[in-house]
Structure formats: C-alpha cells, structure tokens
Structure 1
C-alpha cells in the first residue's frame, strides 16, 4: 500500500468513523457472546460496514510497514498475512494422521442422493447446462463490441459518465459458443478509475455471457429535477403508459415492474445517478430494452436528449461513427418500443441489454459439486476430530470441533484465493483442502434421535456463532444437532483481502468473494453428506450407540448473511429439503445502499473515487460476479425447475419489517423470485406477493411487525427506532412455527393476529 493511500485513509473523516464503529462493534460483540443472535446483530453486517473493518486491517498491515511503503500482501498475493481458514493438502499425500477418518464407501441405497458421476461425466459443460439458450427473433445482436460500435470505451449517448447507460449490449461481442450468442467485453477504460489514477481492469468480466438478471440499471441526466419517478412504494405504476421509465422484454413486449430513483447518497445534484431496479428477477438469456421519457429539469421543462441519442432517434446526421454503426440496431429498438405504445419522438434515452444465462451463473458451482460427489458422494470424505468436550453445560452433551477434506478449486485455500479455470471455463481441481467444522449434540437427543440442522452464520462471522448459550438452548429445546462450517468468502478471515480490493480500485479483484463463496458451498455440501452417512455412524458422534439424529434428511437454518447465502446453498443441496431463512435478501446492488452499514463504506468510496456515480457503477458491475454465489443466480430454482440432481425445496422466510441492515425490498425480491406467498394476517402488503392463510405451502414469508415508522423511499437506510434485524426469531410463536415447519412442512400462523414482538 502506498504512503499516499495510507495518508488518504488516515486523514479522512471516514477513517475516524470507521474506528469508532469498529470499537463499538467489538465491545458489543465481546459482551454479547451468550446471545444466539450475536451473528445476526453483527450479522448481515452489510458489506460496507465490514468493508470498513477490512480497511482498518489493511491500514495496519500496509501503513505500518517501514520506509518501503509497501505491504506484505502485494496485489498478486492479497491477504498473505491474514487469518487462514483452511489447510491445503496435495492430492498425492496420504492421510496418515491417526485421527483422520477415511470412511468406507456406503452401499446403502438412499434415493435422497443423486447417483455419483464418473470423471468422464464431468468434463463437458453441456452435461450441466440448462437449456436457456437465448430465444432470439430475427434481430441480429450487436457485434463488434465498444471498439467498433463506440470507437472507444464510452457510450456517447450518456457522455457525462463512461460506462453509462449500464448494463448495455454495446459492451458485448459475438460468441457463438455461449448460451446467449454473446459475451461481455468492456473497453480498457470503461470501468472506474480511482483518484490516484488506478484504472480498474475488465478481465474478470470477459467470461460472462450477459449481465445480471437483478441489475442496478444506471443512467444520468445532470439537470434532472428528481421528480416524476415511480419509487418503491409505487411499483405497480411502472407498468402504466404514463411511467417515465420502462423496462421491456424485447421479444414478448411485456413490461417489467420496477422502481426508479435518483441516488440520494450523492451530495452534488448534478452527479446523482438515475437508478432503475427491476422488482422481479429478470429471465435468463433474455434481451431487455430500457426507455426513459418525460423527465424534466429544475425549471419544469422537458430534458433534451443528448446529441448522439437525438441523432439516432430523429435520423439526423452526426459525425460520431457510433450513429451510423447503430442505425439498424436502434431502428429495431424504436420499433419494439412503438409496438408497446412508446413513441420514439418522446424518448429521452433508450438502450438494450441481455441477461446472462443460467449456465453462466451456476455451471461452475454445479461442476464443482459433481466432481466432489464423484469422489465423496456416499458421504465418505476424510475428516478429523480435533477436540471433543463432554457435558459442556445443561444443554450440550457433546461439543466437537474438526476438519473435513474436500476437493479444492481455488489457487489457494485461504483468503484471497481465486478459482482455477480450465480451457472450457469450468473449475479445475487443485488438490484438496481441509476446512473446519463445529458440531453441537444436545442432551435431548442422547436417548431419542432428533433432527440434523446445518447452521449458516452472518456476514464475516464464523461457525462459532452457533456456539452461543441461546443456540445451545434452541438445540436442546427442539431436539436438534446443530453443525456449522464457515461461509468462506464472507467469513471472518476475508475482511483484509476485501479491504485491499476496495482500496486498490480493481473491480475485477472482487472475484475472490464469489470464488471463495462457491468453495464454501462445496464444503457445506460435502459436510452435510458426511453427517448423514459416515459421520453419523462414528462413535464420537453416536455417543457409542445409534446416531443422535435421523439420517434421512437434513435441515437448514441461516440468519442474515446465513439467510442470503442460505438461499443459494439450499438450491444446490440434495440432502436438505426444508430451510428457514431469517432476514435474507437478494441482489447486493439493491441491498447495500439501503443498509446502515453502507454509511461508513460510503466514506471509503469517497476517498477512493472522486465521482459519486462511480460508487453506484462499481456496485452494479460487481453484481455480475456476485451472481455466481448470491441468490440472484440460484434462488429462483429452489421450487420451480430445480437445478440438475437437486429436488424442489420448502422454504420459510422471516422478514423483520423496518430492518436496518437487510432492506425489506431485497427480502421481498427474494420472495418473488422463489414464488413465496405471505402468511396472513400481516400488516404489510408487498407488491407482487400473494397472500396465504398458510398450512401446507412450499414457500412462505412471515412478516414480523415491530411498529416502526415507514421505511424511507430513497436508497438510504432505515434508521428510525430499534433495529429489528436480530429479533426475527426471538419470540415463541415464530420458534414454534419453525419447529412445526421442520417436522411436517406445514407453515401455520401461530401468532395472535399479525406477528409482532408481543
């Protein structure tokens, strides 16, 4: 880290705030270790708050170096000195430690598990891709990318910021091998540049065959007065002819519900990005058209289109090469808009983009799962028990810490690792690695087997979050053996690396987060398979007798980050049919600016980037990478059209109305994506979610009303009243509802009226 960057951090107001927040968080966490929601309280510590922690660690690692002004962890080796969460083992190494269990293959026939695959089955992407190839009409997709269509890296239809409008098909090139027929190609200078002149590289984005299906759509009108936009409280108005913004399915002509707003974080009115969020997850491998009209300036006059867009719209001559090169392409856009009732002479801006295919977002993870289960599909992965404690307290009969060996697909198992990819774009196994786990066996299952519950911790937490007094109580009260590993990529070992990525200004460096996250999902899948098979028979777990839990099915419980990533994990698991997602969400690009933990992060962004539009642009761009790990890429398959070798799931979502950390808009986006209904009675009526009285339903959302004021409509966090984020499963009716759901799959209203703290 350069001395200049160190000085920028130490002298910024943001750094002062970060130190204060870190101190407060650390103190509160140290004094709250007995609370089962320590992870939820610190728990979806929105990426930005945790990024602050990362910055401090990076500051100590880099700025305290001697006169060279460089940190031990270079850009090539980020996080080398950070806490490790794994041990690398070579493929050829034997497992000679006397404590290591190498289970024999089980011959039991259990239809819950898909058949394992052979190496011959896992070499070709076609074996795991869904048929989501682009259903295009006769219109030819744009060819040549920005170098041809723009004669540069920036689109002159929005000259006020390079890269906008975004996402856009001008940043694609033909690729007949992809499911969409295209792939993303940014120019060398399309992405953001830091104050210190670091230009973000587009390298990590070139493998994408389209853009995020939950995009933060961006445009910019410097003189826009901010009026006449359909905000989040009026989503249904976005489908009307009078709406100033329209998202159109280019093939069907269907209008897509959405909301629009100006970036409320920007202090300069002329640098507020126009942000459009689809209220539903968009279809994969589909072309969409965005149209904007009727916006006015501060004097109430209609905004004039930019020169280049006006030339395209009104068939005027222009000396910029992009105009003639895009004539035919834009004629198609205008014709499709006209067919939907939007006339070209009213348009202030219009463009198109194509969403990525399902294969783009899921094939890497599915390939990793297939490779792992070709080796350990019978629950026979090697494992080690490192520590066993008996009669821990009145709730826990045995506490076990250990490590499990799984195939490694990263260049290194610890923080900063990125995926090793083969020529076909799929991950390549790089030996094996050991990752730690924790098991809690309560007294209540010693004589009568209970259920097996896999736990997912909150943001930048760890498996030890489950090891609190209140989670121990829940395990014993509801006859549940709870076990957990770390959500690596978003666990306690990752902050220093993520901080370095943010401060470096290299957006493509963010790939370590989704890459490590996918490795973390793999560990969870293999561990669950082992827990239902070989480990269930191990005397250390069975306490010398039969397994302390039923081995026909596992269950899942995750809160905050554990709810968010839990939606992805469930969509990949063949061993879990029912999961509870407490205060989850979908699409970090939507989630983060509306979280209280974006506040200190905004200070960091302001230190790194000079233009507030850059802040939103960065979030929008990295969402493309995050889709390979977060629910946007997966959750919609939970119930309908599940992923290969994966059953449909049953899901209970718990939403805390007025959540300060995970905004309700993101929770409701997730609910719509999976087709959940909202349990009645309820005090809320979110757009596009059907009401239900409960009973046997495969997906249900339960709202808990804490009597807070309305959530601010702009893209800023809710801060009024006590944050309900960590209270979603604090009351008895919710716990009983969860228990019944686990037992029977029935979701039944057990609150006296609408659910509330009473």
Structure 2
C-alpha cells in the first residue's frame, strides 16, 4: 500500500510548477489569522447552539502556490472551533524553557499557579491542562515559528475559552514585552501585570460536530425499520486446510446503503443538502458498500461465530482482515470479522487525497465521505445481526442450511490504526454494539499528522503547495474543524459517557504501542483522559518513559477483572520514546516501528476477545505488557 501511495505522491510532486518549491517570502496569509482560533473570526448567530457562527472572509484563508485561497464556505457553516484545536500564536524571541512552558513530557506543569499560559473554561472558571511546543518544522525560520498550544483533554463543547499568555521570556531570561495587540474589552478583568496577550474563542456544539451523521443515521434506519439492509453476495470462496489453516470461507458482496452524497458518491463527492437545509438529506440513491467477511475454521451451527466489524488502517481496504494477526484472532476465538471501506480515506481515495494537498478547498470531501462510511459500517453491522440478514443467506450457513452466526451474542467492533481513530467516532454513534477495541488508536489529526512517519509523503506535497510554515500550522487547525466530523476527536466527549441521542453507553479497550511511529501515543493519552479510560499499571518498566509523571491525568485500573474502559500500553522493547515535539520518529535512533506489535501478541488477542465477549478487562501481563 505505501509503495502505491508514494508513487502517487511522487507523480504529484513531479507535476508541480517550479515556483512552488520556493518558500514564501514576506507576511503570510496565516499570520493574519493569528492568534488562532479566535472569536474575531465569528459573528453572532441566535439560531446556532453556541450563539456564534464562524465567519472567515473570502481571501482570508491561506493561498496555495498558485495564489488560490482556501474557500471558507464549508468552514463558515461551523458554530465554533474544534474541541481539540491547536491554539496558535507567534511570540518573537520566545524561549519555552526559560518561560517555564509545560512540554508534552510534563503536562502537569500547565496547571501550576505561575504557569505562563492559562487556558480557562469561562463557564466554570477552571483551567484546562495542555502542552505547548514551538513548531519544530520552522526551527530555522523564527519569523515563521509559531507556538502551538495543544489541549491535553478535549475541550467542552459549546463553551467559550480564554487563552492568557504572561511572563514570557527570551533565551536571556528577560520578560518579553506585551504584544502590539489590543486585548478585547470583554477580557478587561485579566490582570495586566506582565501580560503578553489574551484572547477568546468558542468551541463548536455537539450538534455542530455530530448533527450531520446523526441525521443520516436516524433517517436511514427509520427507512430500514426492523428489516435487514438489502445486500448482494458476490464471490464465496471455500478454502481447503492446505490453502488456509485459519479461515474456512470468505464471502464478498455489497450492502445497499442510502446515499447522502452527491452524484455517485465517489472521491470528491460531498454531502447532499436540500435547498435551505442545514443537515444532509438522502440523495435518493444507494451507495454500494463493498464488504469482505471471513468465516473461521471451527465454527458450526452448534458453535456459531461471534460477530465483529473490523476497521482497516490508513488508506487501506477491507481485505486487511486477511492479515495474519486478524486471522489468528478469528480462528482462536471464533470471530467472524466483516469489513468495509473507510471511504474518504481508503485505498481508492489515494489519488484524490494526494491531490487535496495542492488545493485544500477540496478537503471537505474527505470528512463528508467519512460520514457516509460510518453509515456503511452501521448497515453492514445490522446485516450481520438481523434475522433476515447474513444468517439467512446460504453463504453464511452450513451444508444443512443452518446459520453459522451467533446473532444472540450481539455485535462488536475491532479496528487498528485508522480503524482505531475512526472507530472511536463510529462507536460513539453505534446502536448495535456497546463494546469496541481500538487498536493503536488516538484522536485529533492536527496533532497526529506531523508526528507520523506515514505523513511524510503528504508533508512534501504540503511543502510544495503551501510552503509557509505559519500557514501550515493554521491549515492543520482549519482542517481539524472539519475532520472532527469524521474522526474520534469530534465524538470523544460522548464515546463512553454522556451518549449521543438515541445511542447506548459504550465501553472501549485501547491498545497503544509505546513509541509508535505512525500514531502518536501522546494523542492516545489525550483520548484516554477525555473518555475516562483507566490505565493498566505499571504501564512501562522503569526507565522507558520520558515523562516527568508518566501518563499524567489518567486513572489507574485498581483491580481485575475490570469493567470499564481501559488503556493498555504494549512495549515491543525495541522502540523508544518519540520526539517531544511535532516531529515524526523517523531517525533510526528511535528503533523499529512498533505500530503492529500489540495486535500480533497472543496475550493482547486474549485480552481483546475476553473484553468483547464479557465486558471484562483482564490482566494478561502481570506487570508491564508484554
């Protein structure tokens, strides 16, 4: 897969105009948006849940190397900013160490009484933990190097936050004079002693973040009523033991899912909105969601297979269920895994996604199609558990016409990497399952991208089309505002508690790879704090963590078996703590990538299977894992 991605990216790079490789000169458009986010870019709107509406002016968002500005139309539908937004400001001469700014390795310092940065919830007056870092990609360009403040827990929806910077110091220890910016009059209560700057912004509401997909879900299932979705079985392949010792039969086909996308729903399509409507409406057709299911050896009518959806990784495909580790778990514990595509970020989307980085006005298609993919997964799951669904089809029966599926046992979810990231959002809206395993997961792509080795080819495209480093950080903040609709960051506040309307409470098990090169463990910790997951301790043997207080702010599993959501860290013993800034661990000194390590461990598979089938988290390590 990565060879194909690299090939597409290289083609895009070689086709770029020579002028785009030069770095931008002069003041960037992004600087006009600083500090970001800010209620300066919103207007009052009594019809929105937050009372605000984002209002970026035409030409205000960054332009690509061809001079084409990002079209703000889709952003201006938002009623606030992301609950995981990067908070951006430029402070000339800033030295984070001399200033005492909390790094990712010491998040607890962000709540110290003398902390130089305050992130305050105006509803409660409470401070929010964070970490902050200078953009390492602009280390040689101080005039473009932004300070990035990252919330260490998802911000509360429909809430106004105030950011205060004070007592900032340069490398000599001298206090940096106040910025030449006027503090809004509504923040006049902030003491001015050694204040550098202060501003406020409003976080989007739950309806603004999740309302589109909930409308799609409820509308589609109302039309379905209690019936199984229509589906077509295509290829049915029975394997001999010599061909496959773990899988007896593979079934491929398509599920007919109501389409809420324009046109045929392919790459580049958008959610369909009727005139004057704020929420998507069905386009009148169906989306043929392809599925692949593997029936493991050992199942029978007397011992039917447990039913689980599977979520594939970045720009992958449903055939990831053919991976050895997935087959192992299927055969060992009797799971039928069925998968469909994360359309928007699947293998078929690679050319479109590569092209998006040359003109980010096209980006809204990605989260739009991801929301349709959520519905596709939900319909696939319903076909698996419905009486008139897969169980009634000969492809899922034995030679006597008896079902091989354990419908009474219910439905589960297991996904890895992107399947762990998107799986958090999918589970938060799921009505047919209450337990999910999120393998090597996290949330918040604005944090993840530059910390991932997988993003390297796309960073090259970004450097070509939007070469200014300040613009790039603003772009990540802008993308997150829309990406929230299609990944766990926009749903995390409702994943395990405070469920969304018409949705049950869910329980999740997170398996994190220490030193992961592709999905930042720091972002996984943010998710764990947000959803209230408890940590298996000791998570790491002494000497492995680079944090002052390892896994700060995450509770501990006190005893086993544990009923609740949990985070278990798996250490391959070969990888090391990643860079403490927005760089990927691409240097050989960080060791081999442990990204696929947890899912391949027999103990991890036992823990996953036990959790899915019983709701109990068991201790399979007796100490750090493994």
Instruction: Give the TM-score, by structure 2 length.
Output: 0.90
**Residue 103 of structure 2 corresponds to residue 249 of structure 1:** no
Select which of 668, 676, 689 maps to 2:525.
Answer: 668
Q: Give the equivalent residue in structure 2 for 1:36.
A: none
Higher RCO structure, 1 or 2 (CA under 8 Å, sep 6+): 1
Report the CA distance shift for 1:189/1:483 in structure 2 as closer, same or farther (over 3 A).
same
Conservation of the 8 A alpha-carbon contact between 1:680 and 1:749: no
Select which of 161, 168, 171 maps to 1:288.
Answer: 161
Select which of 581, 590, 611 maps to 1:714.
Answer: 581
Unmatched tracts of structure 2, length 5 or more: 18-26
Select which of 184, 193, 197 maps to 1:345.
Answer: 193
Cα distance per residue 1:138-187 (max 9 Å; x no partner): xxxxxxxxxxxxxxxxxx9x999111100000000111110011100012
Select which of 332, 354, 366 maps to 2:186.
Answer: 332
Report the CA distance shift for 1:160/1:380 in structure 2 as closer, same or farther (over 3 A).
closer
Q: Give the equivalent residue in structure 1 for 2:256.
A: 405
Q: Give the equivalent residue in structure 2 for 1:438.
A: 292
Q: Give the equivalent residue in structure 2 for 1:701.
A: 567
CA shift for structure 1 position 296: 2.2
Cα distance per residue 1:327-351 (max 9 Å; x no partner): xxx233131x3xxxxx223211110
Q: Give the equivalent residue in structure 1 for 2:385.
A: 532
Aligned pairs for 1:175-186 (under 5 A) are 175-186=45-56
Select which of 327, 331, 347 maps to 1:472.
Answer: 327
Distance in structure 2 (CA, Å) of the matches to 1:294 and 1:161: 23
Q: Give the equivalent residue in structure 1 for 2:266.
A: 414
User: Aligned to 2:371, what secondary structure does the other structure show?
Assistant: helix
Q: Give the equivalent residue in structure 1 for 2:368.
A: 515
Conservation of the 8 A alpha-carbon contact between 2:305 and 2:334: yes
Report the CA distance shift for 1:220/1:694 in structure 2 as closer, same or farther (over 3 A).
farther
Distance in structure 2 (CA, Å) of the matches to 1:439 and 1:178: 43
**Residue 554 of structure 2 corresponds to residue 689 of structure 1:** yes
CA shift for structure 1 position 745: 0.9
Distance in structure 1 (CA, Å) of the matches to 2:282 and 2:113: 52
Aligned pairs for 1:31-70 (under 5 A) are 54-56=8-10, 58=12
Conservation of the 8 A alpha-carbon contact between 2:134 and 2:147: yes
Q: Give the equivalent residue in structure 1 for 2:90.
A: 220
Conservation of the 8 A alpha-carbon contact between 2:354 and 2:458: no
Cα distance per residue 1:118-137 (max 9 Å; x no partner): xxxxxxxxxxxxxxxxxxxx
CA shift for structure 1 position 580: 0.8
Q: Give the equivalent residue in structure 2 for 1:261.
A: 133
Cα distance per residue 1:78-113 (max 9 Å; x no partner): xxxxxxxxxxxxxxxxxxxxxxxxxxxxxxxxxxxx
Cα distance per residue 1:514-536 (max 9 Å; x no partner): 10000001011011101111221
User: Aligned to 1:233, what secondary structure does the other structure show?
Assistant: coil
Aligned pairs for 1:53-202 (under 5 A) are 54-56=8-10, 58=12, 161-202=31-72
Select which of 623, 648, 651 maps to 2:505.
Answer: 648
Q: Give the equivalent residue in structure 1 for 2:406.
A: 550
Distance in structure 1 (CA, Å) of the matches to 2:168 and 2:425: 38
Conservation of the 8 A alpha-carbon contact between 2:570 and 2:597: no
Distance in structure 2 (CA, Å) of the matches to 1:159 and 1:391: 59
Unmatched tracts of structure 1, length 5 or more: 1-21, 28-49, 65-155, 313-329, 338-342
CA shift for structure 1 position 608: 1.4
Conservation of the 8 A alpha-carbon contact between 1:656 and 1:705: yes
Conservation of the 8 A alpha-carbon contact between 2:514 and 2:521: yes
User: Aligned to 1:402, what secondary structure does the other structure show?
Assistant: strand
User: Aligned to 1:667, what secondary structure does the other structure show?
Assistant: helix
Cα distance per residue 1:434-464 (max 9 Å; x no partner): 1111111112112411201111000000001
User: Aligned to 1:550, what secondary structure does the other structure show?
Assistant: coil
Distance in structure 2 (CA, Å) of the matches to 1:489 and 1:169: 30
Aligned pairs for 1:238-637 (under 5 A) are 238-266=110-138, 267-309=140-182, 312=183, 330-335=184-189, 337=190, 343-392=191-240, 393-412=244-263, 413-422=265-274, 423-430=276-283, 431-447=285-301, 448-504=303-359, 506=360, 508-533=361-386, 534-543=389-398, 544-552=400-408, 553-637=410-494
Conservation of the 8 A alpha-carbon contact between 1:577 and 1:650: yes
CA shift for structure 1 position 391: 2.6
Conservation of the 8 A alpha-carbon contact between 1:650 and 1:699: yes
Instruction: Give the TM-score, by structure 1 length.
Output: 0.75
Distance in structure 1 (CA, Å) of the matches to 2:462 and 2:524: 25
Distance in structure 1 (CA, Å) of the matches to 2:504 and 2:467: 48
User: Aligned to 2:369, what secondary structure does the other structure show?
Assistant: helix
User: Aligned to 1:303, what secondary structure does the other structure show?
Assistant: coil
Cα distance per residue 1:643-662 (max 9 Å; x no partner): 12211112110011111111
User: Aligned to 1:308, what secondary structure does the other structure show?
Assistant: coil
Report the CA distance shift for 1:407/1:752 in structure 2 as closer, same or farther (over 3 A).
same
CA shift for structure 1 position 379: 4.0
Cα distance per residue 1:388-427 (max 9 Å; x no partner): 1113533222211101111101113111111112323111
Moved more, 555-564 or 703-712: 703-712
Distance in structure 2 (CA, Å) of the matches to 1:739 and 1:59: 44
Distance in structure 2 (CA, Å) of the matches to 1:733 and 1:451: 19
Report the CA distance shift for 1:550/1:160 in structure 2 as closer, same or farther (over 3 A).
closer
User: Aligned to 1:178, what secondary structure does the other structure show?
Assistant: coil
CA shift for structure 1 position 575: 1.0
Report the CA distance shift for 1:466/1:57 in structure 2 as closer, same or farther (over 3 A).
farther
Report the CA distance shift for 1:59/1:446 in structure 2 as closer, same or farther (over 3 A).
farther
User: Aligned to 1:601, what secondary structure does the other structure show?
Assistant: helix
CA shift for structure 1 position 734: 1.2
Distance in structure 2 (CA, Å) of the matches to 1:557 and 1:55: 30
Distance in structure 1 (CA, Å) of the matches to 2:96 and 2:465: 27
Report the CA distance shift for 1:161/1:747 in structure 2 as closer, same or farther (over 3 A).
same
Distance in structure 1 (CA, Å) of the matches to 2:350 and 2:107: 36
User: Aligned to 2:266, what secondary structure does the other structure show?
Assistant: coil
Q: Give the equivalent residue in structure 1 for 2:599.
A: 729
CA shift for structure 1 position 582: 0.6
Distance in structure 1 (CA, Å) of the matches to 2:297 and 2:582: 47
Conservation of the 8 A alpha-carbon contact between 1:216 and 1:620: yes
Q: Give the equivalent residue in structure 2 for 1:26.
A: 3
CA shift for structure 1 position 298: 4.0
Q: Give the equivalent residue in structure 1 for 2:21.
A: none
Moved more, 264-273 or 523-532: 264-273
CA shift for structure 1 position 59: 6.0
User: Aligned to 2:105, what secondary structure does the other structure show?
Assistant: helix
Conservation of the 8 A alpha-carbon contact between 1:376 and 1:526: no
Conservation of the 8 A alpha-carbon contact between 2:536 and 2:568: yes
Conservation of the 8 A alpha-carbon contact between 2:43 and 2:55: yes
Conservation of the 8 A alpha-carbon contact between 1:304 and 1:348: yes
CA shift for structure 1 position 549: 2.3
Report the CA distance shift for 1:353/1:63 in structure 2 as closer, same or farther (over 3 A).
closer
Cα distance per residue 1:660-696 (max 9 Å; x no partner): 1111111111111111000123226311100113413
Q: Give the equivalent residue in structure 2 for 1:74.
A: none
Greater Rg by CA: 1
Distance in structure 1 (CA, Å) of the matches to 2:13 and 2:513: 35
